[in-house]
Chains A and B, each alone.
Chain A
Amino acid sequence: MREQMLKSILSDLNGASADIEASAIISSDGLTMAALLPQDVDEDRVGAMAAAMLSLGERTAKELARGELEQVMVKGDNGYILMSYAGKDAVLTVIARREAKLGLIFLDAKRAARNIAEIL
């Protein structure tokens, strides 16, 4: 039931912009709660990586006095990976195309994260 609700948030998110290719919701210790990822992606590993990145980002933000972490962004040749907290114990990961308008992606991700936090 909860997974269905989470999945519907993800499909809304993926539908909100053609630039969002995939998304997933992961517990803060790195287990996938719901995911709309390409088939060849190993959910467990992506989950663990997102949890590790966010946790390190949080520590780095604190160490350098940047306050509470809002998000971690990774940019590669082929596009973006955006990770943000959805509540205290879950992570929303969004994978976007290279051409994506980041401002819009941020906005969509923020809205989805808020909806996820309400469910959890």
Chain B
Amino acid sequence: MRAYDNKIIFAGPVGAGKTTAIAAISDIAPVTTDARASDMTLNRKDTTTVALDYGVLMLDEATKVHLYGTPGQERFDFMWDILSHGGIGLILLLDNTRANPVKDLQFFLNAFRDMLKVAPLVIGVTKTDVRATPSIETYAALLEKFDMRPPIFEIDARSREDVKKLVLALLFSIDPGLES
């Protein structure tokens, strides 16, 4: 694999942990674009990503994975298009404590449908310690309806090991021969 080929996109609703996940696995100081929140986001956290997050994960000396995080709010959907250009895979983070995470899943599948036609998907469900449902089976059942069977994990976005598991699962679905 050549370095510039490995661009991975992190998407998902506000507060799912995209910025946190990239900070957790990046081998460089991540580039963040946080602004003080003034919308509904305030119920969940003080700041929110307004352009992108960027980090780099070195899998080994030759394999560099560029990590791009997107803003969660729909008004930033133009950034979703810009950032997903050239991406080889999508990591979708879902937050189990949001009002309707299954609807979130449906929404983001639709928003990133062009990318998902050509690139694989991996799903990470966060905050399952706070709320255990929907279960992974519930998400899988919805995805099955769209004829999709992506890997789904319960993760802690602050854990380097957990987030790395998502990235490796994604790379593995692109190239099953990849040794992890």
Contact = CB atoms under 8 A, between A and B. Distances in A.
Contacts of A29: 35-39, 41, 48, 50
Interface string B43-68: 00000101110000000000000000
B39 A31 contact: yes
Contacts of B71: 48, 52
Given A28-B50, A55-B50, A49 B36 contact: no
A45 B75 contact: yes
Contact of A56 (B33, B75, B76): B33
Interface string B109-141: 000000000000000000000000000000000
Contacts of B97: none
Using C-beta atoms within 8 Å of the partner chain, give the interface range for chain A: 10 to 19
B79 interface: yes
B46 to A, nearest CB: 10
A48 B35 contact: no
A44 B35 CA distance: 16
18 contacts: A28-B35, A28-B36, A29-B37, A29-B48, A30-B50, A30-B73, A30-B76, A31-B38, A45-B78, A47-B75, A48-B71, A48-B76, A52-B50, A52-B79, A53-B51, A55-B51, A89-B36, A89-B38
Top 10 nearest A-B pairs by Cβ distance? A52-B51, A55-B33, A48-B75, A28-B35, A29-B35, A27-B38, A51-B50, A44-B75, A56-B51, A55-B50
Interface of B: 31, 33, 35-39, 41, 48, 50-52, 71, 73, 75-76, 78-79
